[in-house]
Amino acid sequence: MMECQITLIHPGEKPEDDEKTVVFAEMNPVGRDEFQSAGVNGYKAECQFVIWAEEYDEQPELLAGNKRLTIYRTYGARPDGKIELYAAERVGNHGR
pLDDT confidence of residue 38: 83
Q: Determine, yes or no, domain membership for 94.
A: no
Q: Determine, yes or no, domain membership for 12.
A: yes
Does residue 92 have a pLDDT over 70?
Answer: no
Does residue 94 have a pLDDT over 50?
Answer: no
Query: How many separate domains does the chain show?
Result: 1
DSSP 66-96: TEEEEEEEEEE--TTSEEEEEEEE-TT-TT-
Q: Determine, yes or no, domain membership for 83.
A: yes
Q: Determine, yes or no, domain membership for 81.
A: yes
* Domain at 22, CATH number: 2.40.10.270
Q: What is the pTM of this model?
A: 0.85
Containing structural domain, residue 46: 2-89
Q: Determine, yes or no, domain membership for 30.
A: yes
pLDDT in tens, 9-55: 999 999 889 999 999 999 999 888 888 888 888 888 889 999 999 99
Q: Determine, yes or no, domain membership for 95.
A: no
CB 48 within 8 A of CB 27: yes
pLDDT confidence of residue 31: 86
Q: Determine, yes or no, domain membership for 37.
A: yes
